[in-house]
Amino acid sequence: MASISREMRQYLSEQAAAQEALNKVMSSADAKAEGIDAATAALKSATAKVNAQKSLDEGKTFDEAGQEVKDEPKPKDNDTHSKYASMDYRKAFMDYVKTGKKSNLLDFRSADTSTGTSDVGAVIPSTILQEVIKKVENYGQVYALVRKLSIKGGLTVPVLSVKPVATWIDESTPSNRQKLSLNDKITFNYYGLECKIAASILTDITTLDLFESTVIEVISEAMIKALDIAVIKGAGTSSPMGITVDTRIPAKQIVTLAPADFASWKAWKQKVFARMPAGYKANAVFLMASGTFEGYVDGMTDNNGQPIGRVNYGIINGPQEQFGGHKVVEVEDDVIANYDDAATGDVVGVYGDLSNYAINSNMQMTMYRYFDNDKNQLVDKALLFADGKVLDPNAFVIIKKGAAV
């Protein structure tokens, strides 16, 4: 009876009583027509109530007491997104950035724990945030290749360091059980990446579309550059730990090439390609300054005079640079130094599988407004929290410029 409502129980009871009354009248020896009609009408009335309640109860569940059990309403996943993407929120955000006016429509978050300031910032509308992320992923050549995570900062994450090994056995010799070692662990912190915009850049903009496109361009351009630099050479103290700074990279995979070796295909094969463990070669790419590739690698020839660094001019996206069968990603000189400008001992290239480097961030940004007393001007500051770490140091070979012999 737990599956029917309290009302239904009552009506079924009345229906059973009416049926019993009709049966009693019908079985009576002195039954009269009036009595039979009245009992029949009562049964019809009770049955009508049962049928009506059945329609009302359809699709519902009830507890032991006959009370309806209702599911708790589930929050909609896109409620928050819809709020931040609404026209009202976007206009209120524009007013805040341009004039400093705080609206009740905006969400403000404090950055106390991470920036040492008591200021609060407005959450950037999701329409702007999505476009910034899209630009960062499309134009950040290094960032586009790394792994993206979104886990809580401060957590220690185990990194799988040993893979199972398959062994041949006979009928009487079992193989040793391989245990996955989780001894290697990394911890992601909260580092603030800020982009400061002079308020005068945005103050005179009158339309919402132009305001948002300007904010997107300014923020994405600055953050693309900062993220790419951090992945390669971030200090690891107030920014992500860069690949070339990580002390866990095996010593044998940090290679120094003298000028003669740098121009030699044989030296590259012996000292660079051969140092990469086979398991990481499939997805490995080269990162180097454009001047390094164009001036040294692209013109390199083997012992037979055949070009090594081939540039394939396809029908899509222009030339696709390759070296030894691996993609070459040309970066700006402030990410990796150009060979001609690099000092002895400077990093001039990275060879590796960038999926073994992770950027951890929820990619949510807030906007702060403050007065810069030194420059005597209002400043809008976009703030993003992120960290980055090498997951597997064996996946990278660092190439440094050597002294002439």
CA end-to-end span of the chain: 94
pLDDT digits (tens, 9 = 90+) for 25-71: 878 877 777 888 888 888 888 888 877 777 666 656 666 665 665 55
**Which regions of the chain are under pLDDT 70?**
1-3, 55-81, 110-120, 137-139, 153-185, 199-204, 206, 309-319
Of 258, 329, 317, the closest CA to residue 293 belongs to: 329
User: Quick one: pLDDT at residue 402?
Assistant: 95
**Pure H helices in 28-139:** 33-57, 79-85, 87-99, 112-115, 126-139
Helix (H) or strand (E) holding 363: none
pLDDT of residue 269: 92
- Is residue 308 helix, strand or coil? coil
DSSP reduced 3-state for 107: coil
The pairs formed by 232-240 with CB atoms below 8 angstroms and a separation of 24 or more are 232/142, 232/287, 232/331, 232/335, 232/336, 232/347, 232/350, 233/335, 233/347, 234/388, 238/191, 239/191, 239/193, 240/191, 240/359, 240/386, 240/387, 240/388, 240/389
Segments making up each domain of the chain, as ranges: 6-57, 72-151+184-405
Q: Residue 9: what pLDDT?
A: 82
Q: Residue 365, exposed/middle/buried by CB under 10 A (0-12, 13-18, 19+)?
A: buried
Q: What is the pLDDT of residue 311?
A: 57
Nearest to 334 by CA among 224, 205, 213: 224
Q: What is the rounded distance in angstroms from the CA atom of residue 198 to the CA atom of residue 369?
A: 10
- Kindly state the tokens that stand for 324: 């030894």
Distance CA 181, CA 265 (A): 38
The pLDDT score that the predictor gives to residue 180 is 41
Do 348 and 233 touch, CB atoms closer than 8 A?
no
Query: Does residue 254 contact residue 276 with C-beta atoms inside 8 Å?
Result: no
The pTM assigned to this predicted structure is 0.65
Query: What's the one-letter identity of residue 215?
Result: V
What DSSP assignment string belongs to 145-199? GSEEE---TT-EEEE-----------TT-PPPPP-----EEEE---EEEEEEEEH
Question: Distance between CA 389 and CA 373 in Å, rounded?
Answer: 36
pLDDT in tens, 236-281: 888 899 999 999 999 999 999 999 999 898 999 999 999 999 989 9
Q: Which residues pair with 147 in a beta bridge?
A: 358
Sign of CA dihedral 10, 13, 17, 18: positive
CA 394, 251, 225, 379 torsion: positive or negative?
A: positive
